[in-house]
């Protein structure tokens, strides 16, 4: 489902047009959406998905045109649009591969005010090119689950997970959810089990009755504990019981900072991370859903060049900083000033996956995703031997407009990587496939 960066006022289901400039490009699930644009003015859009299911070729330079018809079939308007990402932003230099589909948005203009649209015919044009063999880019230890924009994931157990596709930083109920079984490789659409808890009574209890405040709240339930966490309209972070009762203050006075997400650990421990835009340093704190802060405040932590990784108990974080012109990774105490140098090396930026900290019976290991000679690569730092190992290249293709995330399975032997944007998707890495960090 398309998630647009607009306020949707009403949606009218209409018929998708069949007139195509490219027979291989088929508009699907076309819908008229009355909305407001970035300037607060009324806007009418045709939204849907453009499918390339019938061709062995890929298409680029895709543009979409639309004709708006009334009940009598008379042309009453027209429009022009593009393929868009899950947040509704137009995609430049996008390639629609065979067997895939991508959301589109066409801005419509009616010839006369007061006319009523009954249907719209969407016409797609594009340039055919040779497709990319994405499977050839995968190593034996890496498997791809989906090409959708995966922005969050929850491990149910070591063999099953659920993931959400949609616009980053949206509340989980605004995403499309799927379950995946690692043993059968079976995927199916699902409703998130906590969606039923989002009631009017809960939103009143949390003071999130304004839809804009709810969309901004980052409200999420701990995958391993009872309580939920969210932020208010003033960016104050609270935890609460599933019904909204027994709220506990976790962080306040942070209204000028932009929350970007939570990294969950077992037993309700989490790291909250903040930055404004691509390239900015990352601020953070660690806490648990019972309301106990485990780190310095947002104003006292050492800013990181990357989204920090966090130890399962929340007491240490993995950060990257530059000192005297040298960039290094550190394992830092979350509450005190002490830190431990891990290695020197370039940091990729705040849109790359956070490091993950794996604790096993035979020791502790930190898995990192970094570019080596411009190739995204999975590495592992062995805390026992103090050595950094290169494990495998990864098929990530990030730009300044896209982001990626990482999630470690409960048994610590499978790493999930999700990404949004034109080259988004979900991949699983089998960490048992490597001879090191075992």
pLDDT (0 to 100) of residue 114: 80
pLDDT (0 to 100) of residue 89: 87
Query: How far apart (Å, rounded) are the C-alpha atoms in residues 372 and 21?
Result: 42
Same domain as 158, residue 107: no
Residue 5 in this model has a pLDDT that exceeds 70: no
Q: What is the DSSP string of 122-137?
A: EEEEEEEEPPP-GGGG
The CATH number assigned to the domain holding 37 equals 2.60.40
H or E element: which one contains 206? Answer: helix 200-206
Assigned domain for 2 exists: no
Domain edge (last residue) among 86, 107, 129? 129
Domain edge (last residue) among 129, 150, 172? 129
Assigned domain for 214 exists: yes
Instruction: Name the pairing type of β-strands 8-13 and 26-36.
Output: antiparallel
Q: Could you give the strand order of the β-sheet that contains 326-333, starting from the edge strand earlier in sequence?
A: 309-310, 316-323, 326-333, 339-344
Most confident of 33-42, 133-142, 214-223: 214-223
Same domain as 308, residue 249: yes
| Number of domains within the chain | 2
Assigned domain for 134 exists: no
pLDDT (0 to 100) of residue 28: 92
pLDDT (0 to 100) of residue 22: 64
Give the pLDDT mean for 159-166: 97
Residue 3 in this model has a pLDDT that exceeds 90: no
Three-class secondary structure of residue 196 per DSSP: helix
What are the pLDDT digits (tens) for 177-194? 999 999 999 999 999 999
Q: Both tokens of residue 375?
A: 């190739």
Reference 97, options 304, 397, 409; nearest CA is: 397
Same domain as 376, residue 291: yes
Report the range of poorest mean pLDDT among 121-135, 164-178, 201-215, 238-252. 121-135
Give the pLDDT mean for 214-225: 95
Q: Which domain holds residue 265?
A: 139-433
Same domain as 202, residue 63: no
pLDDT band per the 50, 70, 90 thresholds, residue 93: confident
Q: Could you give the strand order of the β-sheet that contains 119-129, starting from the edge strand earlier in sequence?
A: 8-13, 26-36, 42-52, 100-110, 75-83, 58-69, 119-129
Same domain as 312, residue 369: yes
Residue carrying structure tokens 């680029």? 60
Query: How far apart (Å, rounded) are the C-alpha atoms in residues 159 and 163?
Result: 14
pLDDT band per the 50, 70, 90 thresholds, residue 38: low
Same domain as 310, residue 243: yes
What are the pLDDT digits (tens) for 258-296? 999 999 999 999 999 999 999 999 999 999 999 999 999
pLDDT (0 to 100) of residue 17: 37
Higher pLDDT: 55 or 137? It is: 55
Report the range of poorest mean pLDDT among 43-57, 267-281, 406-420. 43-57
H or E element: which one contains 102? Answer: strand 100-110
What stretches of 309-413 adopt beta strand conformation (E)?
Answer: 309-310, 316-323, 326-333, 339-344, 356-360, 363-372, 375-382, 387-393, 404-408
Domain edge (last residue) among 129, 151, 167? 129
């Amino acid at each position: 489902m398309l998630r647009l960066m607009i306020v949707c006022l009403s949606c009218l289901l209409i018929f998708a047009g069949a007139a195509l400039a490219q027979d291989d490009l088929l508009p699907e699930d076309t819908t008229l959406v009355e909305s407001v644009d970035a300037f607060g003015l009324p806007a009418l859009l045709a939204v849907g998905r453009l499918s390339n299911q019938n061709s062995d070729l890929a298409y680029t330079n895709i543009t979409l045109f639309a004709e708006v018809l009334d009940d009598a079939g008379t042309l009453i308007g027209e429009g022009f649009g593009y393929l868009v990402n899950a947040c509704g932003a137009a995609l430049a230099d996008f390639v629609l591969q065979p067997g895939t589909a991508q959301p589109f948005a066409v801005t419509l203009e009616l010839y006369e005010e007061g006319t009523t649209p009954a249907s719209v015919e969407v016409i797609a044009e594009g340039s055919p090119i040779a497709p990319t063999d994405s499977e050839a880019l995968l190593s034996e230890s890496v498997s791809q689950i989906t090409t959708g924009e995966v922005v969050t994931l929850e491990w149910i157990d070591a063999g099953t997970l659920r993931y959400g596709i949609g616009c980053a930083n949206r509340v989980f109920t605004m995403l499309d959810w799927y379950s995946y079984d690692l043993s059968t490789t079976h995927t199916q659409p699902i409703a998130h089990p906590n969606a039923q808890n989002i009631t009017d009574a809960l939103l009143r209890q949390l003071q999130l009755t304004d839809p804009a405040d709810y969309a901004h709240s980052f409200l999420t339930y701990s995958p391993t504990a009872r309580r939920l966490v969210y932020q208010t309209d003033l960016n104050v972070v609270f935890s609460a019981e599933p019904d909204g009762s027994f709220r506990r203050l976790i962080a306040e006075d942070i209204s000028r900072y932009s929350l970007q997400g939570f990294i969950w650990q077992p037993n309700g421990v989490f790291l909250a991370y903040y930055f404004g835009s691509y390239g900015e340093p990352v601020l953070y704190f660690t806490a648990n859903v019972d309301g106990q802060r485990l780190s310095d405040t947002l104003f006292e932590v050492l800013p990181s060049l990357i989204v920090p990784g966090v130890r399962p108990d929340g007491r240490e974080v993995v950060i990257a900083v530059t000192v005297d012109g040298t960039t290094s990774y550190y394992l830092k105490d979350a509450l005190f000033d002490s830190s431990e140098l891990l290695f020197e090396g370039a940091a990729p930026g705040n849109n790359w996956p956070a490091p993950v900290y794996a604790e096993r019976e035979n020791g502790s290991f930190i898995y990192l995703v970094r570019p080596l000679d411009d190739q995204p690569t999975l590495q592992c730092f062995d805390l026992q031997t103090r050595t950094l190992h290169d494990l495998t290249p990864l098929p990530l293709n990030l730009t300044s407009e896209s982001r990626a995330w990482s999630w470690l399975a409960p048994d610590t032997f499978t790493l999930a990587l999700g990404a949004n944007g034109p080259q988004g998707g979900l991949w699983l890495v089998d960490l048992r496939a490597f001879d090191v960090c075992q």
